[in-house]
Amino acid sequence: MTVGVVMPAAGAGARLGPGVPKALRELAGEPLLVHAVRRLRACPSVGPVVVAAPPDAVGDVQALLTAYDVLVVAGGAERQASVAAGLAALPPQVWLVLVHDAARALVPVEVVEAVVAALLDGAAAAVPVLPVQDTIKRVGIGGEVLETVPREDLRSVQTPQGFRRDVLEEAHRSARGWMTDDAGLVEAAGVTVQTVLGSPDAFKVTTPFDLLVAEAVLRRG
Ligand code: C5P
The pLDDT tens digits of the residues spanning 147-179 come to: 999 999 999 999 999 999 999 999 999 998 999
Q: Please give the distance, rounded to the nearest whole angstrom, from the Cα atom of residue 51 to the centre of ligand 1.
A: 11
Ligand 1 pocket test, candidate residues 58, 101, 210, most atoms within 8 A of CB = 101
Instruction: Find the 100 Cα to ligand 1 centroid distance in Å.
Output: 10
Q: What is the DSSP string of the chain?
A: -EEEEEEE-----GGG-SSS-GGGSEETTEEHHHHHHHHHHT-TTEEEEEEEE-GGGHHHHHHHTGGG-EEEEE--SSHHHHHHHHHHTS-TTEEEEEE--TT-TT--HHHHHHHHHHHHTT-SEEEEEEE--S-EEEE-TTS-EEEEEP-TT-EEE-S-EEEEHHHHHHHHHT--S--SSHHHHHHHTT---EEEE--GGG----SHHHHHHHHHHHHH-
Predicted local distance difference test score (pLDDT) of residue 189: 93
- In this prediction, residues 190-200 reach a mean pLDDT of 98
Distance CA 188, CA 186 (A): 5
Q: What would the mean pLDDT of 203-215 be, rounded to a whole number?
A: 96
Ligand 1 centre distance from Cα of residue 202 (Å): 15
Q: How far is the CA of 146 from the centre of ligand 1 (A)?
A: 30
Residue nearest to atom 2 of ligand 1 (CA): 11
Ligand 1, pocket residues at CB < 6 Å: 8-11, 22-23, 52, 75-79, 82, 101-103, 204, 206
Query: Dihedrals φ, ψ of 201, to 5°?
Result: -65, -15
Could you report the per-residue pLDDT of 16-57, keeping only the tens digit for each? 998 889 999 999 999 999 999 999 999 999 999 999 999 999
Q: Which atom of ligand 1 is found nearest the CA of 206?
A: 3
Give me ligand 1 centre to Cα 26, in Å: 16
| Best of 82, 157, 203 for a ligand 1 pocket test (most atoms within 8 Å of beta carbon) | 82
Q: What are phi and psi of 53, to 5 degrees?
A: -100, 165
Nearest CA to ligand 1 atom 11: 11
Provide the greatest CA pair distance for the chain.
Answer: 52
* Contact call for residues 41 and 4 (beta carbons, < 8 A): no
Quote the ligand 1 centre to 81 CA distance (angstroms).
10
Q: Tell me, what's the pLDDT at 178?
A: 92
| Ligand 1 center to 78 CA (angstroms) | 7
Whether the per-residue pLDDT at 1 is higher than 80: the answer is no
The amino acid at residue 205 is: V
CA distance 198 to 205: 16
Share of the chain above pLDDT 90, in %: 94
Q: Is residue 221's pLDDT more than 90?
A: no
Q: Domains of the chain by range and CATH?
A: 2-220 (3.90.550.10)
Rounded-to-10 torsion of CA 40, 46, 49, 51: -30
At 132 the pLDDT is 96
User: pTM for the complete prediction?
Assistant: 0.97
Exposure on the CB side of residue 127, measured as CA atoms within 13 A: 19
